Structure 1
Amino acid sequence: MTDRLMLLDTASLYFRAFFGVPDKVKAPDGSSVNATRGLLDIIAKLVTLYQPTQLIACWDDDWRPQWRVDLIPSYKAHRVVEEVAAAPDVEEVPDALQQQIPLIRETLGALGIPIIGVAEHEADDVIGTLATRADLPVDIVTGDRDLFQLVDDSRDVRVIYTARGMSNLEIVTDETVVARYGVLPSQYADFATLRGDTSDGLPGVKGIGEKTAATLLRAHGDLAGIRAAAAAGQLTATAATRFAEASDYLDVAPTVVKVATDLDISAPGIAITAPTGADLDAVDALAERWNLGTAMGRALSALASERGSD
């Protein structure tokens, strides 16, 4: 079997699990465990379907890094808890999900799935660095289209896109990005900068939608080429004016939109292993304490099957 690294955009997945799994089954103390159980089922399905030999849970150590906010103050601003004026980095997260995050971390640890985060960076940046440095094929699991910029057929880096639900997963390749947006994955960050993205608080360039952004990138290659063409009078007067008005935004937006690929991390040789012996006893105890039984069992079974196929 070919070695393959799977990188989980963990927050994307546990948010999906929280909103997708009914909050009916509770822990013995009445706590919600739907996000945890749902994430276990997501992992079981992903491992069974795509058979990764290495699996890493990438973590948002900082979901809204200050250095990105300093460049674009509106970055993810709509997700900030409004009542906490003194702590602008507090994300709006339902209490029932927030309370499960420590359990999610404990569960991943018990299963032997490494969690990797980096201070002052998002999970996207961890994924970008690990995917860029990997010397084996990579599957990035996310519902965030920003990570399309990492797709690279030549290196067998693809996105398993969850936005349509776990029953309708989509494998995103170079061809997918070109067919959907008219640009190459390597142009996607510039495309997103031009188009803007309300979900991330990126204003984009006024009057430049997806079609115009794609047309400009096809003609001029990248954002720098488009700006040079505008300055040289090679665009229409209207377009040149729009780019001039957006100059301050365009000076900083690429740094915000492009995921980091050079963080000081490495994760070589982290192979999937299913817990055994005392570790398995600890997993069983955790599952019993939090009523994770059937979901934990499915995850264990998938990990054990993958380990046995090596």
Structure 2
Amino acid sequence: MPLDDGRLPKLLLLDSASLYFRAFYGVPDQRKDESETPTNALRGFLDMIATLVTQHRPTHLVACWDDDWRPQWRGDLVPTYKTHRLTEGSATVEESPDDLTPQVPLIRDALAAVGIARVGVPDHEADDVIGTLTTRHLGVMPVDVVTGDRDLLQLVDDANAVRVLYTGKGGVREPDVATESMLREKYGVPTGEAYLEMSVLRGDTSDGLPGVRGIGDKTAAQLIEQYGSLAALRAAVESGDPAIKGARRTNLEAAADYLDVAPTVVRVVRDAPVPQVDLALPRQVADRLALDELAARYGIENPVSRLLTALGLG
């Protein structure tokens, strides 16, 4: 049903850390004095939101947050999960560039001052917030997920108007728009669920998931296509299907323990305890004084102005 301004409802979910890490590495550091607080990730993140709002015209927007970037329950299932990202000597702290760390609280403050919803959940990653909010809004409004993380391609669902705007190469201005036809064309799988199962077989070094030895993207997709699902493939291995032989059979059998738990680790949670909050775009700046002070103190007047203009609040 159209809103008062004629727009159809649309929910835009931001994988916040994915975007502000990209901004940090992609936006130049303009400081003249290293004693100043860096702001490149903050400026870039605000500009990204302005671009996304302008191009996609959502009516609802959420900055989804990693309250726990490596939940213990995932690490218990696959001990290598994200361990390469841990700060040396720590079991819980994510390694982060020194100049990015002080900017994360500023991003939080900016979102709060503007009035953009920011949602995180204890013991869950932003991916789980995204999965839960997507599930809640199936059939209610279209959902676009903005991320540089291929794991979230599992959410693609044409029937329920769920797309992923994947920022891998083109950034937020020219993302790869992931639909089921794109999954078929690029990865050889027909659905988001099939992509998930293919990714379990393939593994993901960026997340510390080993996958099955000798199985890459193409072979994983072929196996899921041939057998229909990971469960059916495993049943074929266990029943001695003669089509699975040699090193492939050996490697699949050797990976049995991994395959028992990896789908739970890779699959985003769809029913995390995400609080009920107002996800609509702000109709007015939530805290103009705080926003003005933040903009003046850190010299971010221009990106703040661009964001407010995009939101219709300028």
TM-score range, shorter chain: over 0.9
Is residue 136 from structure 1 mapped to residue 136 from structure 2 by the alignment?
A: no
- Tell whether the 8 Å contact from 2:52 to 2:173 is kept in structure 1 after alignment: no
What is aligned with 1:161?
A: 166
Is residue 246 from structure 1 mapped to residue 252 from structure 2 by the alignment?
A: no
> Aligned-pair distance for 1:207?
1.1
- Tell whether the 8 Å contact from 1:26 to 1:291 is kept in structure 2 after alignment: no
What is aligned with 1:231?
A: 238
What is aligned with 2:117?
A: 114
TM-score for both structures, normalised by structure 1: 0.93
1:286 maps to a residue whose letter is L
CA distance in 2, matches of 1:203, 1:220: 22
CA distance in 1, matches of 2:305, 2:283: 11
2:159 maps to a residue whose letter is S
1:51 maps to a residue whose letter is R
C-alpha spacing 1:29/1:113, structure 2 compared with 1 (3 Å): farther
SS in 2 for 1:7: strand
What is aligned with 2:180?
A: 174
List per-residue Cα deviations over 1:248-274 (Å, max 9, x = no partner). Answer: 111111110101001122546521114
What is aligned with 1:101?
A: 104
Is residue 294 from structure 1 mapped to residue 283 from structure 2 by the alignment?
A: no
- Tell whether the 8 Å contact from 2:131 to 2:155 is kept in structure 1 after alignment: yes
CA distance in 2, matches of 1:296, 1:198: 36
C-alpha spacing 1:265/1:166, structure 2 compared with 1 (3 Å): closer
- Tell whether the 8 Å contact from 2:11 to 2:61 is kept in structure 1 after alignment: yes
C-alpha spacing 1:274/1:39, structure 2 compared with 1 (3 Å): farther
Selected match of 1:303 from 288, 308, 311: 311
- Tell whether the 8 Å contact from 1:27 to 1:289 is kept in structure 2 after alignment: no
- Tell whether the 8 Å contact from 1:130 to 1:266 is kept in structure 2 after alignment: no
> Aligned-pair distance for 1:106?
0.3
Unpaired stretches in structure 1, ≥5 consecutive residues = none
2:124 maps to a residue whose letter is H
- Tell whether the 8 Å contact from 1:55 to 1:271 is kept in structure 2 after alignment: yes
CA distance in 2, matches of 1:28, 1:4: 41
C-alpha spacing 1:182/1:27, structure 2 compared with 1 (3 Å): same
SS in 2 for 1:61: coil
What is aligned with 2:267?
A: 258
CA distance in 2, matches of 1:34, 1:290: 10
TM-score for both structures, normalised by structure 2: 0.92
CA distance in 2, matches of 1:300, 1:250: 47
CA distance in 2, matches of 1:110, 1:269: 15
What is aligned with 2:4?
A: none
Identity %: 53
1:230 maps to a residue whose letter is V
C-alpha spacing 1:116/1:20, structure 2 compared with 1 (3 Å): same
1:189 maps to a residue whose letter is L
C-alpha spacing 1:74/1:283, structure 2 compared with 1 (3 Å): same
- Tell whether the 8 Å contact from 2:117 to 2:278 is kept in structure 1 after alignment: no
CA distance in 2, matches of 1:26, 1:148: 40
2:302 maps to a residue whose letter is T
> Aligned-pair distance for 1:208?
1.1
How large is the Cα RMSD of the aligned pairs? 1.8
Is residue 124 from structure 1 mapped to residue 127 from structure 2 by the alignment?
A: yes
List per-residue Cα deviations over 1:119-167 (Å, max 9, x = no partner). Answer: 1110000000100111211010000010000010101010111111234
What is aligned with 1:34?
A: 40
**Larger displacement relative to structure 2 (25-34 or 180-189):** 25-34
What is aligned with 1:4?
A: 10
> Aligned-pair distance for 1:285?
2.0
2:299 maps to a residue whose letter is N
2:281 maps to a residue whose letter is I
What is aligned with 1:149?
A: 154
> Aligned-pair distance for 1:295?
0.5
CA distance in 2, matches of 1:232, 1:26: 67
1:42 maps to a residue whose letter is M
CA distance in 1, matches of 2:94, 2:35: 26
What is aligned with 2:281?
A: 272
> Aligned-pair distance for 1:279?
2.6
CA distance in 2, matches of 1:275, 1:296: 14
> Aligned-pair distance for 1:236?
2.3
